[in-house]
Amino acid sequence: MNSEKEQKQSGMSPVESRAAFSLAGIFSLRMLGLFMILPVFALYAEELQGVTPVLIGVAIGAYGLTQALLQIPFGMLSDRIGRKPVIIGGLLIFALGSVVAAMADTIWGVILGRALQGSGAIAAAVMSLAADLTREQNRTRVMAVIGLSIGMAFAVSLVLGPMLNAVIGVPGIFWLTAVLAVFGIGIVLNLVPDPRESHFHRDTEPVPAMFGKVLRNANLVRLDIGIFTLHMILTATFIAIPLALRDFAGLEGANHWMVYLPVLLLAMGLMIPFVVIAEKRRKMKGVFLGAVFAIALAQFGFMWLHQSIVGIGFALLVYFTAFNVLEATLPSLIAKVAPAESKGTAMGVYSTSQFIGAFLGGLIGGLVYAEYGLQGVFLFGAITTLFWLAVASGMQKPSYFMSYLIKVGRMDDAQAWELQAQLREIEGVGDAAVVGEEGVAYLKVDSQVVNYEALEKFSVEEKVVD
């Protein structure tokens, strides 16, 4: 009995570890499929029938529109029919989109394929399954493993894309993407554990009744604008960067990985101390605003230095260091700012904003490139980032509260209100919401101040941290 309790407190169980790494594998395979064409598509698209600069951008970003429209509905569908059927169905749609894009000889065929890829919007269902398979005290670790896998897959895709393009071409990359989706289905069927039960998780899933509250929160909206802008600039930038490397810096497309690989490795190393300073030393706002400013500097760098490999490489290093810092700190800020009972809703709006940004980045980037060329795209990125900096500078200093869940047992509304008031009186508790029908208290606590012993007496089980 004691050994079982020690296992629960010391780390993830074998089932939780298996869930974390298998679900991370599914995410990684899908991300590779979406992003391997990012550094090569602008060069390949010149061979397609009906191509224009605007349609190149639409093809790159088309997945974002369908993903934005369908990710929350697919998550809700998984509550009704089960997580695995939705994930498998989404991967099949993703594979179909990859096949359509691989067989297309017109730009419109590729756009259709990319839109179908995005229609396989499984992110919310995967996160819900991760929540089903993990105890609350280990959920943060599992989500961290998945998040790390997404970041690694993005970095690998930028290097693999040019390498594979030299061997199998962009159609071959799309065919490979379809194969990766099939592998993902195999992981779902053979490696991902089956949950004992699937139920709604307010901390990871959107609550429709909470959308209004989240959208009226000025600080959350600032962060949504942030992730929207970050991915809009990313998509627009990669319409221009491959062309700049080839046409101005004189580097053949097959060799672009020689720039991306060292830049991404250095950027991942450089971002670590900034994230540590932001989180451990509680300098989140300063680091965040500094990273936004660095994105603007990188865009100006692309404008001024895009005629040399060294210049582009230096600007990319600044860009990806800042990009990695922002990708790490923005979700953390959402978790800190979101009310205790609406974290899942806030994350749903945040993710939707990200995908809409990716779509509009392709569309607007293509329009700007058609009218003003490469420098116009980079100037658009710089001006947009400076606008983001102005918006972000008004955000309040984050509270550094962490989410904390207590299973308190089911109760009526009067009991829930009474318990909620008691919890808010405990030192270190910044916010508390007790949902009686779920039997869960959702808290925001300062881990350096909170009196955990005082919280434990309200728990019907051992304490759980998210």
Instruction: Convert the pLDDT of each residue in 98-147 to its tens digit.
Output: 999 999 999 999 999 999 999 999 999 999 999 899 876 677 788 888 88
341 DSSP 8-state letter: G
DSSP secondary structure letter of residue 84: H
> How far, rounded to the nearest angstrom, does the alpha carbon of residue 102 sit from its chain's CA centroid?
26
* Distance from C-alpha of 331 to C-alpha of 53, rounded to nearest angstrom: 33
- Residue 272 contacts by C-beta under 8 Å, 6 or more apart in sequence? none
Q: How far apart are the first and last CA of the chain?
A: 24
| Count of C-beta atoms within a 10 Å radius of residue 182 | 14
Residues 101, 110: contact at Cβ < 8 Å?
A: yes
Q: Between the CA of residue 223 and those of 169, 233, 367, 441, what are the distances in Å?
A: 38, 15, 26, 26
pLDDT of residue 134: 85
Range of weakest confidence among 143-157, 174-188, 294-308, 317-331: 143-157
Do residues 198 and 83 make contact, with C-beta atoms less than 8 angstroms apart?
Answer: yes
In which order are the strands placed within the sheet that holds 429-435?
429-435, 440-445, 402-407, 464-465
Q: Per-residue confidence at 197, pLDDT binned at 50, 70, 90?
A: confident
Residue 406, strand partner residues: 441
Report percent pLDDT > 70 for the chain: 96
Write out the H or E segment, with its range, that includes residue 407. Answer: strand 402-407
Instruction: Report the predicted TM-score, pTM, of the whole model to 2 decimal places.
Output: 0.91
Q: Picking from 50-64, 273-287, 366-380, which range would have the lowest pLDDT averaged per residue?
A: 273-287
The residue type at 368:
V
Same fold, 206-400 and 402-465: no
CATH class belonging to 402-465: alpha beta
For residue 342, the model assigns a pLDDT of: 86
Contact between residue 383 and residue 368 where contact means Cβ atoms under 8 Å apart:
no
User: Domain spans of the chain?
Assistant: 12-205, 206-400, 402-465
Report strand pairing: 429-435 vs 402-407.
Answer: unpaired
Q: What is the reported pLDDT for 456?
A: 77
The predicted structure's pLDDT at residue 49: 96
Which pLDDT does position 196 carry in this prediction? Answer: 84
Residue 58 to residue 111: CA distance in whole angstroms: 7
Distant-in-sequence, close-in-space partners of 361: CB < 8 Å, separation ≥ 6: 57, 61, 64, 231, 232, 233, 234, 235, 236
Q: Where do we find the tokens 């280990």?
A: 138
Give yes or no for a contact between 67 and 76, defined as CB atoms under 8 angstroms apart: no
Instruction: Determine contact, residues 407/389, Cβ cutoff 8 Å.
Output: no
Q: For residue 292, which of 222, 373, 372 has the smallest C-alpha distance? A: 222
* Cβ 36 vs Cβ 171: under 8 Å: no
Greater confidence (342 vs 193) lies with 193
Query: How far apart are the C-alpha atoms of 44 and 60, rounded to whole Å?
Result: 12
Q: How far is CA 183 from the centre of its chain?
A: 22
* The amino acid at 294: A
Distance in angstroms (rounded) separating the CA atoms of residues 337 and 190: 38
CATH superfamily of 206-400: MFS general substrate transporter like domains (1.20.1250.20)
Quick one: CA torsion of 356, 358, 360, 364, rounded to 10 degrees? 170
Average of per-residue pLDDT across 277-296: 94
In this prediction, residue 199 carries a pLDDT of 76
90-94, 297-301, 420-424, 456-460: least confidently modelled range: 456-460
Rounded CA separation 456/466 (Å): 15
Closest by CA to 397, choosing from 273, 275, 277, 288, is 288
What class has domain 12-205? mainly alpha
